[in-house]
Chains A and B, each alone.
Chain A
Amino acid sequence: MAKRLAPHVLDHAHPLAGPRLAHRWVHPLHGGSVNVQEVLQSRLLLVTGKGGTGKTTLSATVGRLGAQRGRRTVVCEVDTFRPALTAVFGQAPDYEPTRVGPNLDICNVTWRDALVEWLGDTVPGKRIVKAILDNRVVQTFLEATPGLRETVILSKIVKLCDQYDQVVVDMPASGHAISLLGVPGVAMNLMRGGPIRERAVQIKSRLSRRDTALVIVALPEEMVVNETVELWERLHREVPELQLPLVALNRSAAPSLSGDEIALLDRLESDAALSDDPAARELLLAGRWEAGLEEATAQALERLRAELDVNVVHFSRLGALGGYEGGPQRIVQQLAAALARQELAEQQA
């Protein structure tokens, strides 16, 4: 643990790997926002963020970790046509949870199946449910009824919470996540009674529980940070019962270049003697992107903490500038190790 890391290792290693960097990188944790430990121990975990930030990978990672620790875990997707979990687990999730490892299931909460189950739970009598579902007119009506889709999907997720120790939901991206989570509130405003309102109340109470956690996945890019800030502002307004989220900053880079090194990089870049040398340009550009990523990471961390006032946990980009070699399974393994280290650091703090 006390081993000092050679400079070239720093680029690849997780920043928390060594005490020297831990000192620079672990920031005091925020009291009001969840931390990694709470995320790992949550009963219901909702993972959202801008498209392409790594929501699915993070969801799978938390699920893996929970299962390894002996908790019965299910990782679910929400009504996706081409489930992203397939790439991570090597098999497509169905509506009914299927086993992918010890203690670990995956599923896809497709809305039609959720509707059938919901009707079965709500309406007395199987024959009546069948009569409803066989009627094309009623089907169209149910499809057209605003908010029903979201309500039955969330109902299923809440139901899963009673069957598993942990339910990790790989949510849709930003705007769609707000629509999904905002529906119970709208339903409660519109309905005075009836089963839908009851479900909406149940869902809201589940969302407000201390063991429900939200993770927003982000990247160290200005636009992604903007969207993350905006996403939480809107979620907080429309689903006020949610607790402050943990933000996971993926593909970040620990500070490794010193001020002197950056000064020298600047000089080399503006050096007339090198301006026509393609090899020099290529090396300097590679260096500039590294420096840029380190700087963007620092800025993203600062903005997220200042503007959202939440805990931010960061994961170093893996492999070549955030490349995907080694496949999703390997990324999940590395990410799981990083999460566990972060949790340990929290416990020690």
Chain B
Amino acid sequence: MNIQELLSEKDLIICVGSGGVGKTTTAAAIGLQAARDGRKVLVLTIDPAKRLANSLGLKRFGNDETRIDLSPLPDARGELWAMMLDNQKTFDDLIEKLSPDEESRSNILSNRIYRATADNISGSQDYMATEKLYDVVNSGRYDLVVLDTPPVKNALDFLEAPGRLARFLDKRVMKWFLQPYDEGRVFGKLLMGTSAVIFRLLGYIFGREFLAELAEYFHHFRDLYEGFATRHQAVVELFGDARTAFLIVSAPNGPSLEVAEFFLEELGRRKMHNPGLIVNQRHVTAGGALKARDVLGERSRMLSADLPTHTGGQLLARLGAAHRRLRELSVIENGLVESVCRRMVRGQSIWSVPRLEEDVHDLPSLGRIGEHLCEDPKIVGTVG
């Protein structure tokens, strides 16, 4: 499969991979490429570090969908929108949407535990990502949504986020816990048997006051359970949908390719559509050794006439050394990519994006990355 097909056939592309491999840049470049081809695209990033804003050349932007000015690329026919996720805001919005009435809404939003934790507890980032995703994909406002996933310490966190929250809010569990609360006894009145022992212990661990607050927190959430469960199911379906693709993004080095292999395996096991792997920042050479003096000696002499005598010789020596390292690196990278290739299944693609001459933090250079992605990928199981 090539990128052009992907961009026109899919309406959700999810970029996964380890930290620091250019996921955000890749997501932005893919989005931009689709926008140039005439689609209306939203790039959604969850990264608290605001890197998408960086790579789009913006100072920063908030939880709102922001349209990117594509005028630096006159050939762009579609629209590119970008948005960065604000956890607390998304959670608040969600609760607003799911609450049956004004009272339960304000109960939750004013709960001390909710306020203290919604933005602070690890894992909620991953959950909020899927939540927002569900929203924008279903809004029908975009032809294509490209999601840049958060840096994951556990590579599976993201895929499992929707399930985790739904499990927390499992009705039976909450019912057990909330029973005394609902009956107005709020820990401290007589409870029988095991429950009594466990409640006493929980009271001891957390302190009764906090436990009561916690019960209230869960109690309020209980009203939302149906909503969460439905949305969880919908997100699971979305991940497995034929119009969704997961792209693994990696840098050409051992540690991040190892994470890529892990994703290859997991996505395969979960039967999620994974057209392949994008390897960024490849160092590409024509292959041969070069003698800087032979290639550049004459022009260097001519151009350095006004510079101190040793300048040309020193520069050429450095260029030679730099080129030798570049060749070494290119060989190492080829070997690493070859070995990942053996872990892939027939028909999957590997897109190699060469390292650009310049740093990527504006639209034209993002555009160049998109163009490289449009070149024919190496397809596993075929010759050449």
Residues of A within 8 A of B (CB): 7-8, 11, 50-53, 78-82, 84, 87, 119, 122-123, 128, 131-132, 135-138, 140-141, 143-147, 149-150, 172-176, 179-180, 182-183, 186, 189-197, 219, 221-224, 226-227, 230-231, 256-258, 260-261, 263-265, 267-268, 271, 273-274, 277-280, 282-290, 292, 319-321, 323-325
Q: Contacts A141-B177, A141-B202; is A267 near B19 (CB within 8 Å)?
A: no
Most buried by A among B155, B172, B285: B285
Question: Could you list 13 A-B pairs, sorted by A, with CB under 8 Å?
Answer: A52-B19, A81-B154, A138-B198, A146-B121, A173-B151, A182-B120, A196-B205, A260-B307, A261-B318, A268-B299, A274-B299, A290-B322, A320-B328
What's the Cα separation between A258 and B328 when bound, in Å? Answer: 25
Q: Contacts A222-B359, A274-B296; is A257 near B19 (CB within 8 Å)?
A: no
Say how far A46's CB is from chain B's closest CB, in angstroms. Answer: 15
Q: Please determine whether A51 and B322 come into contact, CB atoms closer than 8 angstroms.
A: no
- Neighbour of A146 across the interface among B18, B113, B156, B256, CB < 8 A: B113
What's the Cα separation between A149 and B124 when bound, in Å? Answer: 13
On chain B, the residues within 8 Å of A324 by CB distance are: 253-255, 332
Q: Please determine whether B311 and A141 come into contact, CB atoms closer than 8 angstroms.
A: no
Residues of B within 8 A of A (CB): 18-21, 47-51, 54-55, 112-113, 116-117, 120-122, 125, 150-151, 153-156, 167-170, 172-173, 176-177, 194, 197-198, 201-202, 204-207, 209-210, 213-214, 218, 251, 253-256, 258-259, 262, 283, 285-286, 288, 290, 292, 295-296, 299-300, 303-304, 307-308, 311-312, 314-315, 317-323, 325-326, 328-329, 332, 355, 357, 359, 361
Q: Please determine whether A179 and B317 come into contact, CB atoms closer than 8 angstroms.
A: no
Say how far A124's CB is from chain B's closest CB, in angstroms. Answer: 9
- Neighbour of B112 across the interface among A190, A196, A223, CB < 8 A: A190
- Neighbour of A82 across the interface among B197, B251, B262, CB < 8 A: B262
Q: Please determine whether B204 and A194 come into contact, CB atoms closer than 8 angstroms.
A: yes
Q: Please determine whether A51 and B20 come into contact, CB atoms closer than 8 angstroms.
A: yes
Q: Please determine whether B122 and A174 come into contact, CB atoms closer than 8 angstroms.
A: no
Q: Contacts A131-B194, A267-B303, A321-B325; is A290 near B122 (CB within 8 Å)?
A: no
On chain B, the residues within 8 Å of A190 by CB distance are: 112-113, 116, 210, 213
Nearest A-chain residue to B360, judged by Cβ: A223
- Neighbour of B153 across the interface among A149, A172, A261, CB < 8 A: A172
On chain A, the residues within 8 Å of B332 by CB distance are: 320, 323-325
Q: Please determine whether B292 and A145 come into contact, CB atoms closer than 8 angstroms.
A: no
Q: Please determine whether A283 and B314 come into contact, CB atoms closer than 8 angstroms.
A: no
- Neighbour of A194 across the interface among B49, B153, B205, B308, CB < 8 A: B205
Q: Please determine whether B307 and A263 come into contact, CB atoms closer than 8 angstroms.
A: yes
On chain B, the residues within 8 Å of A320 by CB distance are: 325-326, 328-329, 332
What's the Cα separation between A287 and B256 when bound, in Å? Answer: 26
Say how far B266's CB is from chain A's closest CB, in angstroms. Answer: 11
Q: Please determine whether B296 and A283 come into contact, CB atoms closer than 8 angstroms.
A: yes
Q: Please determine whether A321 and B19 come into contact, CB atoms closer than 8 angstroms.
A: no
What's the Cα separation between A287 and B315 when bound, in Å? Answer: 9
On chain B, the residues within 8 Å of A51 by CB distance are: 18-20, 151
What's the Cα separation between A92 and B155 when bound, in Å? Answer: 17
What's the Cα separation between A131 and B173 when bound, in Å? Answer: 16
Q: Please determine whether B198 and A131 come into contact, CB atoms closer than 8 angstroms.
A: yes
What's the Cα separation between A271 and B301 when bound, in Å? Answer: 13
Q: Please determine whether A195 and B318 come into contact, CB atoms closer than 8 angstroms.
A: no
Q: Contacts A131-B194, A268-B303, A274-B299; is A197 near B207 (CB within 8 Å)?
A: yes
Q: Please determine whether B303 and A140 come into contact, CB atoms closer than 8 angstroms.
A: no
Q: Please determine whether A264 and B286 come into contact, CB atoms closer than 8 angstroms.
A: no
What's the Cα separation between A310 and B50 when bound, in Å? Answer: 23
Q: Please determine whether A261 and B311 come into contact, CB atoms closer than 8 angstroms.
A: yes
On chain B, the residues within 8 Å of A135 by CB distance are: 194, 198
What's the Cα separation between A53 and B20 when bound, in Å? Answer: 7
Q: Please determine whether A144 and B329 come into contact, CB atoms closer than 8 angstroms.
A: no
What's the Cα separation between A227 and B117 when bound, in Å? Answer: 23
- Neighbour of B177 across the interface among A137, A173, A290, CB < 8 A: A137
Say how far B255's CB is from chain A's closest CB, in angstroms. Answer: 7
Q: Please determine whether A194 and B206 come into contact, CB atoms closer than 8 angstroms.
A: yes
Nearest A-chain residue to B200, judged by Cβ: A128
On chain B, the residues within 8 Å of A279 by CB distance are: 286, 288, 290, 295
Q: Please determine whether A288 and B357 come into contact, CB atoms closer than 8 angstroms.
A: yes
Q: Please determine whether B359 and A143 come into contact, CB atoms closer than 8 angstroms.
A: no
Q: Please determine whether A82 and B155 come into contact, CB atoms closer than 8 angstroms.
A: yes
Say how far B262's CB is from chain A's closest CB, in angstroms. Answer: 7
- Neighbour of A195 across the interface among B205, B251, B359, CB < 8 A: B205
Q: A280-B296, A283-B295 are in contact. List 6 more A-B contacts (CB 8 A).
A: A7-B314, A192-B209, A219-B20, A221-B359, A263-B307, A265-B319
